[in-house]
Amino acid sequence: MFSAFYLVFAMTGVVLLAWSIVGEQRRSEASAEVLDVEGRGTRTFLTVKFSTARGEVCEADFRSSVAANRAVTIGERVRVTYGESDPCLGVREVGDRSPWYILIIAVVILTAAVIMAYVVWRRPRPPLPLRYAGMP
């Protein structure tokens, strides 16, 4: 029972991840002005303001994962990507590869689920009849 639930859960996660990857391919780019730079230890958080291709003005916060953008100052411009359906949410800088790490993790989880399902659901072999016991 547990492995069936786990397999369904893993497959659902991979489908949702595939949907997310398709959404990643349909993202647009924009040039954004840096409004605020906040350093928290080794992490740098940027607040940016940009205009979409449809003319919407968005302000977004995100963690900088591209080394070149960790040294920016207020007023500079950085390239960001945004989704067409909701441009002000999920803003990331160009060059951020974090969605691909999620894909790798999802594939590993799905592989583990398939192996578990095989181990649990495989039918055991019936024992050989006693008349064949001494045969090679």
**Domain boundaries defined on the chain:** 2-121
Q: pTM score, two decimals? A: 0.59
Residues 77, 92: contact at Cβ < 8 Å? no
Q: Which residues contact 25 (CB under 8 A, 6 or more apart)?
A: none
Q: Which residues contact 109 (CB under 8 A, 6 or more apart)?
A: 10, 13, 14
pLDDT tens digits along 5-22: 777 777 787 787 777 777
- What the block records as the tokens of 57 is 């003005």
Cα gap 44→64, rounded to integer Å:
6
Judged against a pLDDT cut of 60, whether residue 105 lies above it is answered with yes
Cα gap 32→67, rounded to integer Å:
17
Does domain 2-121 fall under CATH 1.10.3470? My reply is no
pLDDT tens digits along 65-92: 777 777 788 888 988 888 877 888 878 8
Q: What is the pLDDT of residue 49?
A: 93
